[in-house]
Amino acid sequence: MLATRKLTKKYGALTAVEGLDLQVGPGELFGFLGPNGAGKTTTIKMLVGLLRPTSGSATVAGYDIQLEPEQAKARIGYVPDSASLYEKLSAREFLEFSGDLYHVDRAARDRRIQTLLQLFSLRDRADDFLSSYSRGMRQKISLAAALLHDPQILFLDEPTVGLDPKSAHQMKDLLQDFCREGKTVFFSTHILEIAERMCTRMAIIDRGRLIAAGTLEELRGMAAASVTAAGLIPASPDGQSLEQVFLRLTGSEDDEDMGAILSELEG
């Protein structure tokens, strides 16, 4: 469903993403993890066709995103980390506009809009201007618009930002149902507990480079191996949370003690 080969993005002397090789199959709920500034958003923007890579390639649903952009984008749903909506449209009008952009049959479009508004508990506010929506409501409408044309692969950048616990739980169920249909979700998040509960596989990127990819069990094994390679005695990998694995693989455990830093600041 998704493959990248040596995908690279440079901004002058800065390399935001370097030589990224990934493969994600149908039905996978794939988590893309990394520290701030690691290159997650840059990668997603290249995969959905918003940024042109400096070198390398990416195929989405079998189409090269650079050479066959229309065919690829017709099969993509995308929700950015900060939703950009037309403030003077109502939610219903925005969804109608989104459906028309993807040439969704009008009768099917209207049925799907009603279903999505009901799903996200927005029917009572469907005719209000989007300018009156909270951040969480805007996130829901962005996701509804991304799902309206029935994409094969859904790209989400920090999808739970601004959502209350009930809405975040609904989104988790929705994404899992989406993948059960043989479709694919590729999402970035800083909330590792969500990734640990939801993802079939994950990749960790740091300073623009892929440092690990696999199931949680495979990542635990990689973290244990890195400890052994450093000459330390690893804890049992079975008991490690994704947070512990992430900190080990990104080297965050080797940072200076925060208490010592705070003591120096206070002094």
Is the backbone of residue 23 left (phi > 0), alpha (psi -120 to 50) or beta? beta
- Number of C-alpha atoms within 13 angstroms, CB side, residue 187? 29
How far is residue 24's CA from residue 16's CA, in Å, rounded to a whole number?
A: 21
How far is residue 210's CA from residue 256's CA, in Å, rounded to a whole number?
A: 24
pTM, entire model: 0.88
Mean pLDDT of the chain: 89
How far is residue 74's CA from residue 68's CA, in Å, rounded to a whole number?
A: 10
pLDDT per residue as tens digits for the range 37-60: 999 999 999 999 999 999 999 999
Exposed / middle / buried, residue 154 (Cβ in 10 Å: 0-12, 13-18, 19+): buried
As given in the structure block, the two tokens for residue 198 are 């939801």
Helix, strand, coil percentages (3-state) for the chain, rounded to 5, are: 45, 25, 35
**Residue-range domains of the chain with CATH:** 2-87+149-214 (3.40.50.300), 217-267 (no CATH)
pLDDT per residue as tens digits for the range 187-224: 998 889 889 989 999 999 999 999 999 999 999 999 88
Mean pLDDT of 79-101: 93
pLDDT at 233: 45
As given in the structure block, the two tokens for residue 174 are 């929705």
Strand duo 14-24 + 2-11: pairing? antiparallel
Model confidence at 230: pLDDT above 50: no
Mean pLDDT of 229-256: 68
How far is residue 30's CA from residue 191's CA, in Å, rounded to a whole number?
A: 14
pLDDT per residue as tens digits for the range 143-165: 999 999 999 999 999 888 778 88
pLDDT at 263: 52
